[in-house]
Amino acid sequence: MKSAAFVFGTDLLGEGYDAVLDNLQERGGLDGIALSATYHDARDVFPHNPKFHVYRNQGDVAWFVPERGRYRSGLTPRIAAAAGDVDVLAELCRRAEQRGLAVTAWTIFLHNSFLATAFPDCATRNVYGDPYLSDLCPANPRVRDYCRELAGDLARYPVQRLMAESLHYRPLEHGEHHERYLLRLPAAARTLLSLCFCPHCRAAGAQAGVAVADLVTAVRAALEPIWQGQLAPGAAAPLLTESAQDELFKYVGARIATVTSLVAEVREALATGGAQLSFIDHAGTMSHVMHGTGADDEVTESSRKLGIDPVAVAAVCDELCVLGYVDTVPRLATLLASYRKLLGPDARISLALRPLHPDCELEENLRAKVAVARSAHAAGIDFYHYAMMPLNRLDWINRALADGAAAGSAPPLIAGEE
């Protein structure tokens, strides 16, 4: 299995390129590094960064120098202020090549508050037409141009892989600073509010045979009891009529077609540089950010809510990355088994793991999860996240990778786990 760690530009600048690469290669036993080529807003705790322990990331910035002339869409990445005049990705590629380390451009595509706010016509819009200024819409032609331009720009660099994050629709939650929901919004209602009804999504739905106007009316009617304060405690969310559910099913199908075709276009844009496209399916982490989704739910149901058909996406990318952000070993085994059953034994799957709270409190837990990945024939593991882990987690990773558990053997279960 290949192995890498997610890294921020602030790690390389704060600790030094060689210090970080030494840690990953020598202490962690890793053979790759995944740099945040673009990244969104966040405030994080960094255990070992010499400059700060609590840091607010500048949101929606690039850690490479864009070729501005290629962005005919008018949506152009802005360079991270902390990078100054340095092309961090280029410098990383140069130093990593000297060490034989593979570089991945970990790239956030549609979750971009800066661009969505600057170009609200490109943002997703709910059933009322309200823009979600944290997300660009994958059905918008201008946005699709930007995604291809961004991928083509990164293809200039000697990266072995582009890891595409947020190249799909996103849920209602996990978007804005200080999100507040001071009335009860059941999971079904949040799903309805996550649907994009911008003109481009409406057009895609209509082309797929959806009675879009009728669906809009039905969704608004289903949400109205919530706005009126008429949803009794413990009651389920208002249900759509059977006919409206049929239209919703077709509308979701149109969203899936939108995402699948966009992934294919991004992969084509990468072809000039030879980098492979790894598509991150966020469904593996939805239990953390999507209300009403549990860690034991069938993962592909969450995928569909995001406009992702794993089978269709796997057919148009080089690798599907599963986010294994679960606590117990059996849960991870079940998660990977769901993808294997769906995609078949030959599909290329990679896995992301967090050797951190709340997923992993003991080294034995991580070692068993790496064994599960081997038994599921994962092509590689990416560990999240170098900046946020105590450095002793690199020792855990090294020992787990060195275990050499036989492929296909039953993973050991950890005492006390259920």
Residue 135: which pLDDT band, with cuts at 50, 70 and 90? very high
Q: Under a CB-based contact definition with an 8 Å cutoff, are residues 317 and 268 in contact? A: no
Q: Token match 């994962």: residue?
A: 378
Environment class of 292 (CB within 10 Å of its CB; exposed 0-12, middle 13-18, buried 19+): middle
Single pTM value for the model: 0.93
- Determine the pLDDT at residue 173: 84
Residues 41-70, mean pLDDT to the nearest whole number? 94
- Determine the pLDDT at residue 71: 98
- Determine the pLDDT at residue 63: 97
How many CB atoms lie under 10 A from the CB of residue 412?
Answer: 13
Instruction: Identify the residue with better confidence: 411 or 344.
Output: 344
- Asked if the bond preceding 385 is cis, omega within 30° of 0, the reply is yes
Q: Decide if pLDDT at 406 tops 50.
A: no
Q: Can you read off the two tokens belonging to residue 321?
A: 């990355």
* CA–CA gap between residue 401 and residue 397 (Å, rounded): 6
- Determine the pLDDT at residue 181: 83
* CA–CA gap between residue 175 and residue 38 (Å, rounded): 16
Q: Token match 């679960």: residue?
A: 326
Kindly write down the DSSP assignment for every residue of 199-220, as one continuous string.
HHHHHHHHHTT--HHHHHHHHH
CA distances from 76 to 113, 115, 158, 161, 399 (A): 13, 8, 21, 22, 42
Write down the mean pLDDT value for the chain. Answer: 92
Residue 175: which pLDDT band, with cuts at 50, 70 and 90? low
How many percent of the chain have pLDDT more than 90?
Answer: 81
Q: How far, rounded to the nearest angstrom, does the alpha carbon of residue 115 sit from its chain's CA centroid?
A: 18
Collapsed DSSP state (helix, strand, coil) of residue 260 = helix
Q: Under a CB-based contact definition with an 8 Å cutoff, are residues 260 and 138 in contact? A: no
* CA–CA gap between residue 148 and residue 164 (Å, rounded): 12
Residue 302: which pLDDT band, with cuts at 50, 70 and 90? confident
* CATH of 2-182+258-402 given 3.20.20.80, 3.40.50.9100, 3.90.228.20, 3.40.50.720: 3.20.20.80
DSSP lists the bridge partners of residue 111 as 135
Residues 146-172, mean pLDDT to the nearest whole number? 97
Residues 257-283, mean pLDDT to the nearest whole number? 95
* Ramachandran category for residue 166: left, alpha or beta (phi over 0 → left; psi -120 to 50 → alpha): left
Residue 416: which pLDDT band, with cuts at 50, 70 and 90? very low
Residues 320-325, mean pLDDT to the nearest whole number? 95
- Determine the pLDDT at residue 263: 98
Residue 291: which pLDDT band, with cuts at 50, 70 and 90? low
For 335-380, how does the pLDDT look when each residue is reduced to its tens digit (9 = 90+)? 999 999 999 999 999 999 999 999 999 999 999 999 999 999 999 9
Please give the angle made by the CA atoms of 45, 303 and 314, to the nearest 5 degrees: 100
* CA–CA gap between residue 326 and residue 332 (Å, rounded): 6
Question: Residue 2 belongs to what H/E stretch?
Answer: strand 2-7
Domain ranges of the chain: 2-182+258-402
- Going by the DSSP 8-state scheme, the letter that residue 26 receives in this structure is I
- Asked if the bond preceding 50 is cis, omega within 30° of 0, the reply is no
- Determine the pLDDT at residue 300: 75
Q: Decide if pLDDT at 332 tops 60.
A: yes
For 5-19, how does the pLDDT look when each residue is reduced to its tens digit (9 = 90+)? 999 999 999 999 999
Residues 256-267, mean pLDDT to the nearest whole number? 98
Residue 409: which pLDDT band, with cuts at 50, 70 and 90? very low
- Determine the pLDDT at residue 85: 87
How many percent of the chain have pLDDT more than 70?
Answer: 93
For 106-120, how does the pLDDT look when each residue is reduced to its tens digit (9 = 90+)? 999 999 999 999 999
- Going by the DSSP 8-state scheme, the letter that residue 300 receives in this structure is H
Residue 412: which pLDDT band, with cuts at 50, 70 and 90? very low
* CA–CA gap between residue 82 and residue 68 (Å, rounded): 19
Query: Which of 314, 317, 310, 283 is closest to 298 using CA atoms?
Result: 283
